[in-house]
């Protein structure tokens, strides 16, 4: 989820990490064990005079399968569930309106199951998990071919 945001004008930082669980400062191994309650997420710092929160939500939709509550593509389990974490009532309103618009569009046969939840403490992932697409371009491409690229091509033709 880093690369699609990282390449946009107005993005100041994209940090991979974990949020929403009950373990303080979890490790990747702990989150991957599905015992911490955390979801893998990205924390995005952006300049709202260059890119709006609504635009970020639109980018998010185009990277996920919003109809799959059990994970994303080859990544399965609660730690990969589709969720938009919000930090304010304004963000909740924008995310909810965007979700409703997507649901009403008829673009997907299945219901949109992505949840919208209040942000919880965010714990940055270990260094080896930061900027994965840059550090491991070959592995990143293999993982992208695990279903994400085909799904995006099929469902997000502009």
Q: Where are the alpha helices (DSSP H) in 89-144?
A: 89-104, 132-135, 137-144
pTM of the model: 0.86
Domain ranges across the chain: 2-155
Do 123 and 28 touch, CB atoms closer than 8 A? Answer: no
Look at the domain 2-155 and name its fold. Answer: 3.30.1060
Cα gap 129→98, rounded to integer Å: 29
In angstroms and rounded to an integer, the radius of gyration of the C-alpha atoms of the chain is 15
Q: What is the pLDDT of residue 151?
A: 85
The pLDDT tens digits of the residues spanning 102-149 come to 999 999 999 999 999 999 999 999 988 877 666 766 766 666 666 778
The pLDDT tens digits of the residues spanning 19-68 come to 999 999 999 999 999 999 999 999 999 999 999 999 999 999 998 999 99
In total, the chain counts a number of residues equal to 158
Q: Which of 81, 77, 72 is nearest to 149 (CA)?
A: 72
Cα gap 155→158, rounded to integer Å: 9
CA distances from 32 to 39, 44, 113 (A): 9, 22, 22
């Amino acid at each position: 989820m880093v690369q699609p945001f990282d390449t946009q004008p107005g993005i100041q930082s994209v940090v991979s990490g974990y949020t929403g669980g009950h373990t303080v400062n979890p490790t990747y191994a702990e989150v991957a064990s599905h015992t911490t309650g955390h979801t893998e997420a990205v924390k995005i710092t952006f300049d709202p005079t260059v890119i709006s929160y609504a635009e970020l939500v639109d980018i998010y939709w185009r990277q996920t399968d919003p109809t799959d509550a059990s994970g994303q593509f080859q990544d399965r389990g609660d730690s990969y569930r589709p969720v938009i974490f919000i930090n304010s009532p304004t963000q909740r309103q924008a995310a909810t309106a965007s979700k409703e618009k997507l649901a009403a569009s008829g673009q997907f046969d299945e219901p949109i199951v992505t949840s919208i939840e209040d942000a919880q403490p965010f714990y940055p992932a270990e260094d080896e998990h930061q900027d994965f697409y840059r550090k491991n371009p070959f592995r990143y491409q293999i993982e992208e071919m695990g279903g994400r690229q085909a799904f995006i091509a099929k469902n997000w033709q502009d």
